Amino acid sequence: MIIKGGIVYDPANGIFGEEMDLFVDKGRMVEQAKGEEIDAHGLLVMPGGVDAHSHIAGKKVNTGRIMRPDDSRLGTEPRTGTCRPSTGYTVPNCYAIGYRYARMGYTTAFEAATPILEARHTHEELEEIPIIDKGALTLFGNNWQVMECIRNNDMDMLAAYMAWGLRSARGYGVKIVNPGGGEAWGFGGNVKGLDDPVPNFDVTPAEIIRGLAQANEMLRLPHSIHLHLNNLGKPGNYNTAIETLDLLKDIRPGRMRQVVHITHMQFSAYGGSSWRDFESKAPVIADYFNSHHHATMDMGQLLFGSATTMTADAPLEYGNARLTHNKWSNHDIELEESSGVVPMVYSRKMLVNAVQWAVGLELALLVADPWKILMTTDHPNGSPFVNYPEVISLLISKPKRDAEMALMHDQVQNRTSLSGIERELDWTDIVIMTRAAPARILGLQDKGHLGPGADADITIYNLMPEELDASQNHDLVKKALACAKYTIKGGAVVSKDGQILSTPPGRTFWVDAAVPQDDADRLMPELEEKFAKYYSVQLSNYAVQDAYLPHAQVIRAGLSVESLKEVA
């Protein structure tokens, strides 16, 4: 396949809007090829989108679907010759997730939080999501074994357990959600700060985060720890964010990447002491990221309208349910986590929501280096992923932001700095934030760029970047991004002008990290005891079998990869 004459953005390879031809052979980018020609003259061409944080599969997504039949009917599309029926808006069915990502030009998405115990369900759903490649991050932040290893200061056994947990869950990386808080929630409590001890375990959230980060680097995992901070969603929580970031700045990465990815930063960049004096502290957070280089983040942008909040941060969801009088699901996951789901409507007229909306945008605009911040909405917590084009058009156009702010409470001007920010992102920034950076942050070497050997995941949008004034024509941008002219996945055209043409199954990435055998041998008796005493399942039934991942792509880590060499 040859894609002719497009204006190509491939920032990972130093290409910033050059007219060039692209060649595809056997699902990969190559230097020369023959075959079908796609005319992309003057059109915007970039790698397929990569979503590093999205709740798309597993038990809590399904709980959201069960709780929200009202949401199901918002997005119904009948089956066609190629597609199965779609339903849902904030919690779409599996098929709709694949089709809608592909229509927007996305070809990869990672499920953000899966307990090991429920990983089998996650993989059953991931396998049903057509087209896109995916993976699932595994939860470790409230795990009994993790906390015991940290209390005993046994980093080798912790690393062995994390490797075993990732293998059992067929997981891709280490997710930490409100470390310690999920365990405290089992007793109706929460942890208030980084040094607040977890009941019955005699460890603090700070120790859990540091321990997991160190073990993550010992294992040389492709992704760093992926952290949902303590005190998320509370006024004044920016302090916790800065303290947590400071906690990790001396840790040496095991690969060429960040040592921590802070997820949905928007929910953790708040000032004020209550909802009454709630304000944005995004500038403080952005300054920190501009002056430190060990951390990355994603926006977690909030948009007005319907959302479904779902997280392993169960105490937070209890608060949401009390605040909104809405439906609430609460869940305890044995020795591993707790979780909750609450439907939500964000309103322009609510000052708190309007400030939250502004915080996400401030973060993206104030962090100078786009490689440090990804565009996400924490689907479906801030907004469903189908609204990414709205987020991008806000980032790309100051007039659009001003028009939106004119509809909001006057106080938004005083409590955020958004109205004073002139910056408008360009296509290079957008391509980095939605393609190149998420692939690099996740450690996906063949994604997010178009160099030889990369996966032939390509998006062509019906926009002329050389002629278009994106800032003034933001409506046009939004429309074009919502419906790619061509989405090419693994060398096959999967979507054209919003029509799904083919539905190949996507691959599922997981990480197999090798650890020293004696650490694994020391670990097993402890696990056997836990399963005999506490778990509702047997150890032999716990791990996800390979039959659940017919399209698995294993990435090696741990002892099987070389460590970084010291550069003199």
Nearer to another protein, 71 or 378 (CB): 71
Query: Whose CA is closest to 418, among 357, 331, 339?
Result: 357
* Residue that has been written with the tokens 């041998």 in this structure: 521
For the segment 499-538, give every residue that binds another protein (CB under 8 A): none
Nearer to another protein, 67 or 212 (CB): 67
For the segment 126-165, give every residue that binds another protein (CB under 8 A): none
Residue spans of beta strands (DSSP E) within 401-483? 458-461
71 lies in the site for another protein, by CB under 8 A: yes
Nearer to another protein, 90 or 237 (CB): 90
Least distance from another protein to the Cβ atom of residue 327, Å? 8
* Sign of the torsion angle spanned by Cα atoms 268, 273, 278, 279: negative
Query: Whose CA is closest to 225, among 248, 202, 201?
Result: 248
- Looking at 69, 399, 452, 550, which residue binds another protein (CB under 8 A)? 69
Q: Which stretch binds another protein (CB under 8 A): 35-43, 69-77, 84-92, 455-463?
A: 69-77
Q: Please, are residues 264 and 228 in contact by the beta-carbon 8 Å criterion?
A: yes
85 lies in the site for another protein, by CB under 8 A: no
Query: CA 218 to CA 122: how far, in whole Å?
Result: 27
Q: Which stretch binds another protein (CB under 8 A): 71-79, 101-109, 157-165, 234-242?
A: 71-79
Nearer to another protein, 96 or 162 (CB): 96
Total residues binding another protein (CB under 8 A): 8
Nearer to another protein, 300 or 380 (CB): 380
- 118 CB-contact burial (10 Å; exposed 0-12 / middle 13-18 / buried 19+): buried
Query: CA 281 to CA 248: how far, in whole Å?
Result: 21
Least distance from another protein to the Cβ atom of residue 67, Å? 7
For the segment 39-68, give every residue that binds another protein (CB under 8 A): 67-68
* Sign of the torsion angle spanned by Cα atoms 245, 249, 250, 255: positive
Nearer to another protein, 326 or 419 (CB): 326
What is the amino acid identity at position 82?
A: T
Least distance from another protein to the Cβ atom of residue 382, Å? 20
Nearer to another protein, 74 or 242 (CB): 74
Least distance from another protein to the Cβ atom of residue 68, Å? 5
- Looking at 70, 277, 287, 497, which residue binds another protein (CB under 8 A)? 70
Residue count of the chain: 568
Least distance from another protein to the Cβ atom of residue 69, Å? 4
- Looking at 41, 73, 322, 556, which residue binds another protein (CB under 8 A)? 73
307 lies in the site for another protein, by CB under 8 A: no
Query: CA 248 to CA 295: how far, in whole Å?
Result: 9
Query: CA 89 to CA 379: how far, in whole Å?
Result: 11
Least distance from another protein to the Cβ atom of residue 128, Å? 22
The β-bridge relationship of strands 2-10 and 28-30 is: unpaired
Query: Whose CA is closest to 361, among 304, 401, 402, 408?
Result: 401
- Looking at 27, 42, 257, 326, which residue binds another protein (CB under 8 A)? 326
- 497 CB-contact burial (10 Å; exposed 0-12 / middle 13-18 / buried 19+): exposed
Prior bond to 380 cis, omega within 30? Answer: yes
Residues that bind another protein (CB under 8 A): 67-73, 326
